[in-house]
Amino acid sequence: MTITDIAKELKLSISTVSKALNGSSDISQQTRALVCEYANAVGYRSRKASAIVGRIAVLWGRQPKEAEPLAVIAEAFTRAATAARYIVVSKAVDEDFDLNEYLADNRFQGAILLGINFRSKIYAQLKHVKRPLVLIDNYVAGNPFISGVGSDNIAAVEEAVDYLVSIGHEHIAFLDGERESLVGAERLAGYVLGLAKNSIEYRYDLTYFGDYTEQAGIDAAEYYLEYGKQFTAIICASDVMAGGFISRMREAGKRIPGDISVIGYDDLGASFLELTTIRQNFERTGELAFTVLAGSIGGMPAQRAMVEHELVLRSTTQARKK
């Protein structure tokens, strides 16, 4: 649909239609309203409104499966960026990837980086990044170009500990994620702080480190069973690991939640397990990541932005009988 087409349909001159669409004051308000309403109805967009603002990269340290949180975040980010008229290019990075060189050579105004941890070679490059960059569930202080977006992992796990203590649990285990990730470190910190504020001593032998996979949950259950660890509740750093843990414990004859109450983290498909979990808003995380990146591209200071979380109670937790 062009200005000529609109003029023909409304039986107006091309110049009148052009003036109406561009807010000119030398036509009547009634004519302007008629033209604008019709243009909106037929989906007309001016060249100015349709112009591309710039280019943004979505960079992957690890390519996720379709339903994984990072995939949902990236999809929401891409929708928001596309709606704001950015071209979005997705790329998996390898060990030889040069971040500054790639962004400069391909004329990207900025990028979002997902799926990295402290072991990633690209992590060492972050302090020297010279274009706006947003990290998901990561943050690097000291570089004015780097922002971070994620949930308040420490406060969320503290809240989960508080809830378990409030319903009578004192022996609480923790199934963490990767040792090499900020998320894993923060969720562990929330667990330790939650115990401390409730006057419960931290026991290292009740902590197991996994990698956010179902197998990690199974392996954690095997560890606790083999060494006879005694606890009445566990907080898992992801729903996927919680699912593996519950499956193996039930195979071993443990009742969930009769013998062990279980809390997960994410709420991505957790309702299928009737899992009590900490809900993250992944759609909001992706949208906020774009807002932060766009602001940084426009000259705003880098920041660490937090997305709200919620403890969702379902059937895998119950009060401890005295």
Instruction: Quickly list H helices, the chain.
Output: 3-10, 14-21, 29-41, 47-50, 69-83, 99-105, 153-166, 182-197, 214-226, 239-251, 282-297
> In the chain, what percentage of residues exceed pLDDT 90?
68
From residue 293, alpha-carbon distances to 54, 113, 126 in Å are 12, 11, 15
pLDDT, mean of residues 182-207:
96
Could you tell me the pLDDT band of residue 67, with boundaries at 50, 70 and 90? low
Compute the residue count for the chain: 322
Tell me the pLDDT of the chain averaged across its residues: 91
Lowest mean pLDDT among 125-129, 190-194, 217-221: 125-129
- Summarize pLDDT for 218-259 with one digit per residue, the tens: 999 999 999 999 999 999 999 999 999 999 999 999 999 999
Residue matched to tokens 């943004």: 56
CATH topology of domain 54-150+282-307: Rossmann fold (3.40.50)
Average pLDDT in the 42-58 region?
Answer: 77
pLDDT digits (tens, 9 = 90+) for 10-35: 989 888 888 787 766 677 878 877 88
pLDDT over threshold 90, residue 68: no
Res. 188: pLDDT tops 80: yes
pLDDT at 44 over 80: no
Task: Supply the CATH classification number for the domain 3-50.
Answer: 1.10.260.40
Instruction: Please determine, looking at this structure, whether the domain spanning 153-281 carries the CATH number 3.40.50.2300.
Output: yes
Q: What is the pLDDT of residue 63?
A: 67
The domain limits of the chain are 3-50, 54-150+282-307, 153-281
The 10 Å CB-count burial string (b at 16+, else e) for 103-136 is beeeebbbbbbbbbbeebebbeebeebebbbbbb
What pLDDT was estimated at residue 275?
96
pLDDT of residue 219: 98
Q: What pLDDT sits at residue 26?
A: 75
What is the rounded CA–CA span in Å between residue 86 and residue 51?
Answer: 9
Nearest to 240 by CA among 216, 222, 208: 216
- Is residue 26 packed enough to be buried (19+ CB in 10 Å), middle (13-18) or exposed (0-12)? exposed
Can 3-50 and 153-281 be said to share one CATH topology?
A: no
pLDDT for 30 equals 81
Of residues 81, 118, 117, 124, the one with CA closest to residue 99: 124
Higher pLDDT, 191 or 93: 191
pLDDT at 49: 55
Predicted local distance difference test score (pLDDT) of residue 17: 83
